[in-house]
Structure 1
Amino acid sequence: MPPNKNFQRRITILDECFASRTGLFTLERLGDILYERMGFTISRRTIQNDIDYIRGIIEENLSKTSSIDEFTVFVPKLFDGKKTAFRYSDADYALGNQLLSKSDQEQLEETLAILSRYRNRADFDWLDALFPRIETSFNLAHEDYNGLISYQSNRDYVGQPLVGKLYNQLLRKKVLKISYKPFDNLDSYLRIIHPYHLKQYNNRWFLFGLQDDENYKGITNLALDRIQDFTETNENIKKDQIEWGDYFDDMIGVSKNEDDKPIQVKLKFDKKRIKYVLTKPIHGATQKLDVADSDKSTILIEVVPNRELYQTLLSFGKDVRVIEPDLVKEEMRKHAMVLIEYYKI
């Protein structure tokens, strides 16, 4: 079974169907879905071979973590009328949650070998950051590799197990009913979300999407560590209208209301600290030096004044002073007064 582009696409589509908790997928319906998604007919025999391939991958991975000899990958005796239907007996069997098979690992290694030819080109310097992440994520590195490089991460982050599961939901384009419990609530409550985008910030993950229920209507974000559970619904997902590559350009972090507008913030840094700010910008999309400052220690940024902005500014302590605007100065003054109260003798 050659791992060509059509094959990989068929496997992805079938995997989405089998992981779905709604609907029954017979061979005939799977054929119809493949035709709709790919634009040409897939034979019944090919679909059966694809099912056997998927079953083999999942069984191989399950055998690595369990002593059971046989695994029920698909729900047994599931019928739509008199026709056999296919559904994973556990939605977590979705291929996005599986380890790499031996053949997949070999293909990935071959791909990395090809890409490595371009690592010395200036326009491919992003590969230097990508390679170590792929190698460590899929155990492709030399055994001493972890002693050479480390990345900032939080191994105990509660929301980490949901990243892969929600990513699969983004691919399947399913509306979700999410049980959510904010830190300031004793009880969780339900939110209906059209999921569009996952973003990591400050070692936490956030799901962005359109909330459409009685509590709120509009773009929102949910911290993964506050999601208690989620289920798919039968609703049709509303088309994503946002260019996520641009969405975060006017903000630090993840907090933004739909009516928030960016403002220009002028910041004066200590002469020793400004060097660090120039090499690691606070806001790379808009940060620039204030040419009016002869000391070259003042920068301008255009951002939404959210809580992440103030957290960032406070992290510089006495090494930064807000010059303008007044609303940001006032907010920083409030924080400073609280700190003074903390350390009164």
Structure 2
Amino acid sequence: MPKNKNYQKRITVLDECFASRTGLYTLEKLEQVILEKLEIKVSKRTIQNDIDSIRDIIENDIAKDIDVDQYPVFQTGLYEGKKKVFRYAKAEYALGNQLLSKSDQEQLEDTLAILARYRNREEFNWLDELFPRIQSAFELVHEDYSGLISYETNRDYTGQSWVGKLYNQLVKGKILNIEYKTFASETSYIRKVHPYHLKQYNSRWFLFGYEEGENYTGITNLALDRIVSITETTENSLPNTIDWGDYFDEIIGVSKPNDIEPIDIKLRFSSSRIQYVSTKPIHGASQRMDKTDPENRTIIINVIPNRELYQTLLSFGNDVEVIEPDFIKKELLESK
């Protein structure tokens, strides 16, 4: 049977149709459904081959418990007019309820092996959640997931479980009702958010979007580790008009105060720290050396002051001195 690149997609669509207890799916209707959902045109012969393939998969799985000759996979004698209707004899025959076939297991293991190449990259941390679930669900034992490079990750981070789910929501483009609980609050509350962007900072993940609330309406961010639950609505999100690259170029971290423009901040570092800051910039988008410093120990960054800026500067301890502006210098001294 032909198993081209669309085979698995067709099988998934057909399986949903056959498990339905309400629809009446003839070959002609199945053609139409595949065209609508996959935007591909297939022949009745191809669909018939797919049906035979599905029947083989299910029969191989249930034959040990059921006489498939006496209890066939598909209902018999079911017609719409004179056209035969295809429906599972039992809804639980759906492929999702069957064991993996040998070929499907091999394909899944190959897919995991490919994904494993990227497992240690921090933007793919969500794979750490995905792999164990797939291995457990399908009883896979493939463990060849080691690589040549390791990245700093926080695999115990509680917000990790939301990354994959929210990525799917970004693709769907629906407004979300998010139950949220801050560290300072004893109770949770609902936030209505148009989801636009996910960002990782300092080993935590944040969702950025447009929030509609009683006390605030505008661009906001939510820490994934403070999310309690997510409910998808039927409403479409407003179109995203923000260039997130430009958005983050104005700040350190994820906090962006409203109606404040970036300012130049001049910082002088100890001789032991300036090389570190030069090779690992505090703010890569704007950081430059102050050419007026003959010792080449002063840098200038252009950012909007936020709490992440102060946290970053405090992490340098006595190795950094704020030259200007004065209010940044004062804030930093009061925080020490």
CA contact (8 A) 1:10 1:34 kept: no
1:103 counterpart = 2:107? yes
CA displacement, residues 22-81 of structure 1 (integer Å, 9 cap, x when unaligned): xx999779967964x87665778769959x98xx9xxx9xxxxxxxx9xxxxxxxxxxxx
CA distance in 1, matches of 2:325, 2:191: 36
What letter corresponds to residue 156 of structure 1 in structure 2? D
- Give the number of the structure whose alpha-carbon radius of gyration is greater: 2
Provide the residue aligned with 2:266 in structure 1. Answer: 266
**Would the aligned equivalents of 2:122 and 2:152 in 1 still touch at CA under 8 Å?**
no
Secondary structure class of the residue paired with 1:175: strand
Count of aligned pairs between the two proteins: 272
CA change 1:166–1:43 in 2 (3 A) is: farther
How far apart in 1 are the matches of 2:293 and 2:116?
Answer: 47
Partners of 1:26 and 1:285 in 2: CA distance: 59
Residues 187 and 131 from structure 1, CA distance in 2 versus in 1: closer, same or farther, beyond 3 angstroms?
closer
What is the Cα-based RMSD across aligned positions, in Å? 4.5
Residue pair 2:122, 2:151 contacting (<8 A) in 1 also: no
Query: C-alpha separation between the residues in 1 aligned to 2:152 and 2:40?
Result: 45
- Partner SS for 1:159: helix
* CA distance 1:217–1:292, shift in 2 (3 Å): same
1:42-121 aligned at under 5 Å gives the runs 102-106=106-110
Instruction: Mark the CA change 1:270 to 1:106 in structure 2 (over 3 Å): closer, same or farther.
Output: same
Q: Secondary structure at the match of 1:221?
A: strand
Gaps of 5+ in 1: 19-23, 61-68, 70-82, 94-99, 114-126, 337-345
Report the CA distance shift for 1:250/1:184 in structure 2 as closer, same or farther (over 3 A). Answer: same
Would the alpha carbon gap of residues 186 and 38 (structure 1) be closer, same or farther in structure 2, given more than 3 Å must change?
Answer: same
Shift of 1:328: 1.1
Percent same amino acid at aligned positions? 48
C-alpha distance after superposition, 1:191-246 (max 9, x if no partner): 11111111111111111111123232111110011111111111121111112232
TM-score, normalised to structure 1, is 0.64
1:303–1:221 CA distance, 2 compared to 1 (3 A): same
TM-score, with length taken from structure 2 = 0.66
- Write the letter of the residue equivalent to 1:262: P
Equivalent residue for 1:213?
A: 213
3-state SS of 2:327 partner: helix
Query: Which residue of the partner structure matches residue 233 of structure 1?
Result: 233
Alpha-carbon spacing, 1:188–1:298, altered in 2? closer, same or farther (3 Å): same
Distance 1:10 1:238 in 2: 32
**Cα distance in 2 between the residues matched to 1:180 and 1:171:** 22
Task: Verify the 8 A CA contact 2:194 2:211 in the aligned structure 1.
Answer: yes
Show CA shifts across 1:146-198 (max 9, x none).
6x643222222111111111111112222111111111111111111111111
For the structure 1 residues 269 and 8, does the alpha-carbon distance in structure 2 shift closer, same or farther, using more than 3 Å as the test? farther
The aligned residue for residue 251 of structure 1 is: 251
2:298 aligns with 298
Cα distance in 2 for residues equivalent to 1:214 and 1:249: 30
Where do residues 4-19 of structure 1 align in structure 2 (5 Å cutoff)? 4=5
Task: Please give the per-residue CA displacement for 1:287-306, whole angstroms capped at 9, x wherever unaligned.
Answer: 11111111011111111101
Aligned counterparts of 2:178 and 2:220: Cα–Cα separation in 1: 13
